[in-house]
Structure 1
Amino acid sequence: MRCAHCHEDNDLGLKPPPPKLQGVMRKGKMPSRAVATDQSVAQTVLAGKGKMPSFAGRFTEEQMRALIAYLRTDMPLPQQ
């Protein structure tokens, strides 16, 4: 739900809208063009990048593993 808030719903009206994350692991590249690995995705989530804020301290290790596993499923983020 933390990701869908911006990456799917963009309910903050961010311009340009944050990129969709569907297929990011399959494509092998994140929207920043960095290689999409478990480690690089976790680092981006925890440190933030560009307009994306840091989520350090907001994800347990288990939640981060679940997020990366979910991104590997190639499914769109759930709608609220």
Structure 2
Amino acid sequence: MLYAQNCSACHQTGGNGIVGAFPALARNTFVVGDPLAVARTVMDGRGGMPSFRSSLTDEQMGLIINYIRGSWGNRAVPIMPATFAKARGGTLPREVRSQVH
């Protein structure tokens, strides 16, 4: 599972995080808030969180975000693929750019 491979070491399997080090994703208002802000956070990192822009595809980031937005008491609409293009300022997704060039 993508969450287990990329997120659970810090945010824990149950999404509870580690107090004082890594925020809980469970019942987190940011996680269920603005999809664009969440996409940018996963793409570009934040604080001690690494960027996943170059290590995960848009599809993989979307799967992780949608898993988080629907788990541990979180209830949010799924993030849409177009959100990642918007987060990049309208550029094509990395996997599409590589096919064009």
Shorter chain as denominator, the TM-score bin is 0.5 to 0.7
For 1:30-41, what aligned pairs fall within 5 Å after superposition?
30=31, 36-41=33-38
Higher helix share: 2
For 1:1-80, what aligned pairs fall within 5 Å after superposition?
1=4, 2-8=6-12, 16-24=20-28, 27=29, 29-30=30-31, 36-75=33-72
Query: How many residue pairs are counted as aligned between the two chains?
Result: 65
Higher RCO (C-alpha 8 Å, min separation 6): 1
Report the RMSD for the aligned CA atoms in angstroms.
2.5
1:16 partner letter: G
> Residues of 2 paired with 1:23 and 1:74: CA distance?
9
Q: Is the 8 A contact 1:46 1:56 kept in 2?
A: yes
For structure 2, list consecutive stretches of 5 or more residues without a partner in the other structure.
74-101
CA shift, 1:74, in A, is 2.4
For structure 1, list consecutive stretches of 5 or more residues without a partner in the other structure.
none
> Residues of 1 paired with 2:37 and 2:12: CA distance?
21
TM-score, structure 1 normalization: 0.63
